[in-house]
Chain A
Amino acid sequence: TVLSGTNFDVKHPLNTKWTLWYTKPAVDPSESWSDLLRPVTSFQSVEEFWAIMQNIPEPHDLPMKSDYHAFRNDIRPEWEDEANAKGGKWSYQVRFKKNDIDELWLRTLLAVIGETIDEEDAQINGVVLNVRKSGYKFALWTKSEDKEPLVNIGARFKQVLKLTDADHIEFFPHSAANEKHHSPSITL
């Protein structure tokens, strides 16, 4: 089991490496997208993950227009990345209740890096938190837009976010990201 090791030097490896990215809000017009979206650090063990979490601001302390992204290996958190191009994202926006955001973001990260949100280990590329005036937006980025596996993942995502049947998450394929009326292909 996870806790059987008594030697604290023995690290608990994660299934893959993950990279944490941060989008810094622009404070002057000369800053380009490539200045703003930057990898912060990478981790491949549970211990490294916790060390990072202890040292970075929690979501409630982030300035407006910030994003955190955690993506597998070297996948960039952009839909143009080869790994994301044929996929999409499960999306949920939390409005007006700030208090449990930190916990919900932590739960989402844990479900993703612990690989319990996707039992096949086949779909999840990464996870994103947007801090906006309208609220906090959570998104789970996937490799494909195949309905069957995505519905299972979406159902678990709702549990991780502690949503009820009255709350809905929406799946948006990246292929439709440029369309004028960008509507979800799945709602759960």
Chain B
Amino acid sequence: MARYTIEELLQLKPSETLTANFPAEEFRAIIEKVSQVQALREEEFAAHHVGHFNR
């Protein structure tokens, strides 16, 4: 059975950046998009409540 300690696996970490075996750019874009939507909704929520308290 293949077994590696955490230290052994860290030693096998390459120093150069490798290409992943899937469309990683697309994946990062999806996550970035969600982050933007969440941030926008938080801003809208905060803005609404500022208006609320000033009334």
Shortest 3 CB-CB contacts between residues of A and residues of B: A41-B22, A51-B18, A55-B24
Contact check: which of B2, B9, B22 meets A110 at CB < 8 Å?
B9
CB pair A22–B18 under 8 Å, yes or no, is: no
Least CB distance from B19 to A in Å reads: 6
A46 at the interface (CB under 8 A from B): yes
Most buried by B among A49, A50, A55, A66: A55
The DSSP consensus for interface residues of chain A is mixed
Least CB distance from B22 to A in Å reads: 4
Contact check: which of B12, B22, B28, B37 meets A50 at CB < 8 Å?
B12
Residues A21-64 near B (CB distance < 8 A): 22, 24-25, 27, 40-41, 43, 46-52, 54-57, 61-64
Least CB distance from A14 to B in Å reads: 6
Contact check: which of B6, B19, B30 meets A107 at CB < 8 Å?
B6
Enumerate chain A residues within 8 angstroms of B38, measured Cβ to Cβ: 25, 27, 63-64
B47 at the interface (CB under 8 A from A): no
Q: How many inter-chain residue pairs (CB < 8 Å) link A and B?
A: 103
Contact with A along B6-29 (1 / 0, CB 8 A): 101111111001111110100110
Q: With contacts A63-B35, A116-B3 known, is A51 near B8, CB below 8 A?
A: no
- Expressed in whole angstroms, the Cα–Cα distance for A43 and B18 within the complex equals 14
A152 at the interface (CB under 8 A from B): no
Binding site for B on A (CB under 8 A): 2-3, 12-15, 22, 24-25, 27, 40-41, 43, 46-52, 54-57, 61-64, 66, 107, 110-111, 113-116, 121, 160
- Expressed in whole angstroms, the Cα–Cα distance for A160 and B20 within the complex equals 26
CB pair B1–A54 under 8 Å, yes or no, is: no
Contact check: which of A22, A48, A114 meets B8 at CB < 8 Å?
A114
CB pair A47–B18 under 8 Å, yes or no, is: yes
Enumerate chain A residues within 8 angstroms of B27, measured Cβ to Cβ: 22, 40, 55-56
CB pair B21–A51 under 8 Å, yes or no, is: yes
Enumerate chain B residues within 8 angstroms of A115, measured Cβ to Cβ: 1-4
Contact check: which of A54, A110, A113, A116 meets B18 at CB < 8 Å?
A54
CB pair A27–B37 under 8 Å, yes or no, is: yes
- Expressed in whole angstroms, the Cα–Cα distance for A78 and B13 within the complex equals 30
